Structure 1
């Protein structure tokens, strides 16, 4: 998935080769946060496969603690035997679920990207609040519609950027306030993951930009490594569309797909801070993605899947692993006590500008076969772009695009696309 450089002034299951996100390990191990008494929240889950399985596990934990009751699930493919409580009603779709289920407090949507808008709007027409997996929707226009529906119906919406629940973000905010790494000069996000042929064959929407005219935008920055982009934006204080001054995209693909699998997104915030996201699904091996804060007197590196923060200054190096808040629990606390949402819908506006730039950019530029190789056999084979690790490091460190670095597979002329920010 990739397109050449562009400038703007889903949920899907984790690949078995990728590191286990911190949330997966924490769900079963961490106790439920304190919550006021009262009846358990009535919850429905839409999408029980793919990333929906993680929500099932988390809801099982919360139900055991008496916090929620999983009333119903919906999926055209029935849940695996024993994966939902015997008392949970099963429906083929959200429409059927809503027609037969009343009194819901929370609806969780963990379905393919192109279904987020219609399902989210249907959920917001009820009296329930909404937990919507990332990316929120597949276009800025749908994002506006969702925001209007939430505001008009008085509903709360949490977006599933789980990394934003990390307590490391508070520590980062404090170290910036204290001047620990000096003046913040830039932020970069680096992601090196592996996706094999089977990954792109697992569903009809995998790696697609559109399906029958419906936007999907399943690219490296909008889905598998969307947390890298969202986390970098949050650290930079860029939450809404008004927080972005300009945005450039340079998108490429080695795989035979429509979307990008190797990309650079360069952003400048309204405050003038540069953010560069250098991402690929064509690495030699998967490593933990990270966000780097470049300061005048040091650096801080946040490995967001591990909640691990490393700080290096002239005084030395320190490292700490933090806990994180569960976004479902946070949404329930918001309903019960008014606690602020960690990842509210409106705060995804800056991320949605990135997605819109990618959505409206020209088709990703194919990387010439001379500059990548296949490792593995059959559907287990994955593309590896030559020198991609060095390319990502240079792009992130220099806030440069691949074409600006003169990489042979990036072409001799910039493939820049600019989305005007109004």
Structure 2
């Protein structure tokens, strides 16, 4: 690993600066203001405006790398572009911060892992909750037996996504696009942090730490991917991890990861860095990557290999049958145009039951569950 090139810190480029990419751009600008990084270029086919003076703009990463030297590349682009862009950056000698999910398939994960090993570059994945003191504190509590014997972990997400969310890009809400796997969906993208955090709490982040994944995928929206699902992961340690999520809730609530122990339970609200209401801090993934570049003894919070267990979940969703459409009589539609959205009736109650009982929707008899899903 090479350290910063000068007093301004490493030269950083951001690929994909609209949507969520705008937050990465702001973060690099913040670090540049503190002298920890230098924002030298961005790449986005939509172009850019209101950038700091001297920042170059390119349509693609290949053009950017041909024109200017960079040390770190932040990649916040459509899921199906992650691997080719990450490989391009690392082979050019850059370390990367790659948005989640890192890959759409297990084969891509293995390919990208090989590139990391071959190039020796650092690949930090954008699971911010992995850098939360709350997540790490709760993982330590579990390991130390503070909750007694671990009986299971559940993760719940009761979110709202309107039509404009699925209209924002061609790949949104798609399982495949132009013959390429995308695997967008509630479990694998917007609520991916829930599954990843649950696996971290169990100490089961590696690709070989997951024994089986049972999937039940449903949708109320006119999309290809799932928007209401239950997934049960069984880790090689024998821990059941139950994921129950929807993008069709009555109101938008923060996602939670619940640890069920023989001596009690604990609730992690990872978006707010809370354990049972107690607030904790959070490290910044890019700052951590920069510190790791300067001193490889500083570990990454979320290196690529620590997303292997999550990628097993993505692979199970990818190869599962297409999501089952929830019957119209179980859905209430609200709003018009870009604000239009479905509400799955009583979905919050079924999610709570799934979480409490570590059971799939079909095992509970949820009215939209027609059959048990697929086990990988």
8 Å contact from structure 2 (residues 7, 35) kept in 1: no
Q: CA–CA distance in 2 between the matches of 1:367 and 1:395?
A: 18
Q: CA–CA distance in 2 between the matches of 1:265 and 1:137?
A: 19
Q: CA–CA distance in 2 between the matches of 1:114 and 1:48?
A: 17
1:87 aligns with 2:54: yes
Matches within 5 A, 1:15-164: 38-79=7-48, 81-82=49-50, 84-102=51-69, 104-164=70-130
Q: CA–CA distance in 1 between the matches of 2:168 and 2:96?
A: 27
Q: CA–CA distance in 1 between the matches of 2:175 and 2:103?
A: 13
Deviation at 1:114, TM superposition (A): 1.0
Matches within 5 A, 1:316-331: 319-331=277-289
Higher relative contact order (CA 8 A, sep 6+): 1
Deviation per CA, 1:296-317: give whole Å up to 9, x if none. Answer: 111100000000101xxxxxxx
Q: CA–CA distance in 1 between the matches of 2:85 and 2:136?
A: 33
Within the candidate set 331, 334, 340, 1:372 is matched to 331
Question: How many residues matched?
Answer: 372
Q: Secondary structure at the match of 1:409?
A: coil
Q: CA–CA distance in 1 between the matches of 2:302 and 2:67?
A: 30
1:174 aligns with 2:132: no
Within the candidate set 240, 243, 251, 1:277 is matched to 243
8 Å contact from structure 1 (residues 253, 367) kept in 2: yes
Q: CA–CA distance in 2 between the matches of 1:283 and 1:386?
A: 8
Deviation at 1:36, TM superposition (A): 12
1:211 aligns with 2:180: no
Matches within 5 A, 1:212-231: 212-231=178-197
Q: CA–CA distance in 2 between the matches of 1:162 and 1:247?
A: 24
Q: CA–CA distance in 1 between the matches of 2:319 and 2:18?
A: 30
Identify which range, 345-354 or 178-187, moves more after superposition.
Answer: 178-187
Q: CA–CA distance in 1 between the matches of 2:223 and 2:143?
A: 44
What TM-score, normalized to structure 1? 0.86
Within the candidate set 250, 271, 281, 2:216 is matched to 250
Deviation at 1:375, TM superposition (A): 1.5
What TM-score, normalized to structure 2? 0.97
Deviation per CA, 1:79-128: give whole Å up to 9, x if none. Answer: 1x31x2111000000111011112x1101100011111111111111111
Q: CA–CA distance in 1 between the matches of 2:20 and 2:163?
A: 19
8 Å contact from structure 1 (residues 36, 336) kept in 2: no
What residue in structure 2 maps to residue 12 of structure 1? none
Uncovered stretches (5+) of structure 1, i.e. residues with no partner: 1-34, 311-318
Within the candidate set 283, 290, 293, 1:335 is matched to 293
Within the candidate set 123, 143, 159, 1:193 is matched to 159
C-alpha RMSD of matched pairs (Å): 1.4
Uncovered stretches (5+) of structure 2, i.e. residues with no partner: none
Q: Secondary structure at the match of 2:139?
A: helix
Deviation at 1:254, TM superposition (A): 0.5
Q: CA–CA distance in 1 between the matches of 2:35 and 2:89?
A: 24
Q: Secondary structure at the match of 2:229?
A: strand
Deviation per CA, 1:33-84: give whole Å up to 9, x if none. Answer: xx998441100110010111000111111000000001110000011x31x2
What residue in structure 1 maps to residue 341 of structure 2? 382
Q: Secondary structure at the match of 1:410?
A: coil
8 Å contact from structure 2 (residues 139, 200) kept in 1: no
What residue in structure 1 maps to residue 312 of structure 2? 353
Q: Secondary structure at the match of 2:154?
A: strand
Deviation at 1:242, TM superposition (A): 0.9
8 Å contact from structure 1 (residues 244, 269) kept in 2: yes
Q: Secondary structure at the match of 1:258?
A: coil
Q: CA–CA distance in 2 between the matches of 1:162 and 1:400?
A: 27
8 Å contact from structure 2 (residues 129, 135) kept in 1: no
